[in-house]
Amino acid sequence: MDDLLKVGVITTTHGIRGEVKVFPTTDDARRFLDLKEIILDTGKEKLTLTIERVKFFKNMVILKFKEYDNINDVEKYRQKELFVTREQAVPLEENEYFIADLIGLAAVSDDGEDLGELADVLQTGANDIYVLRKSGTSDILVPAIKDCIKNVDLEAGKIEIHLLPGLREVNQK
């Protein structure tokens, strides 16, 4: 399990005083209001930055970091990811999981068939879609609903899935 959880991606600068526009990758963008620090992955290093101000504009979050006061200082961080530690993460409800914890789980059908591994999670709005990948076969897309997801065992690194009739065939087209 990763110690850091992605909460957003810097898309561009905002104004000339060092603010950045962030596309949130978290369920609730308002969670930025509760953060005092955030971790910026520059690609070469991870910087811990202090959040000075949070604003919202359409589907974006506008952040001002205490460490930067000029557009020229933050321009180089376009398309860089922002993270929080697990301690800063929003507490999960029952049967909720961090995507980072799901990626790489061994996927097994409720009949015991090896379905490969959970390679990606697509967030559609209605419900997430789990992408199961197995070498030599087409990906299987499984809706993350109770009818399909029977058990998630993070400690064992396994997810048990019930493939609804026709689901495999839909993904083969």
pLDDT (0 to 100) of residue 171:
57
What residues of the chain score a pLDDT lower than 70?
1-2, 169-173
What pLDDT shows up at residue 45?
Answer: 92
Query: Which pLDDT tens digit goes with each residue over 100-126?
Result: 889 999 999 999 999 999 999 888 777
pLDDT of residue 2: 62
Residue 20 token pair: 């950045």
Alpha-carbon separation of residue 68 from 9, 19, 58, 75, 166 (angstroms): 17, 8, 24, 11, 54
* CA–centroid distance for 9 within its chain: 11
Q: How far apart are CA 41 and CA 79, in angstroms?
A: 10
Q: Give me the residue label for tokens 């070469």.
A: 44
In the chain, what are the domains? 4-87 (2.40.30.60), 99-164 (2.30.30.240)
DSSP labels for 95-135? T---HHHHTTPEEEETTS-EEEEEEEEEE-SSSEEEEEE-T
pTM for the structure as a whole? 0.72
Q: pLDDT (tens digit, 9 = 90+) per residue, 82-99?
A: 999 988 887 888 888 888
pLDDT at residue 168, rounded to an integer: 72
Backbone φ/ψ region at 10: left (φ over 0), alpha (ψ -120 to 50), beta: beta
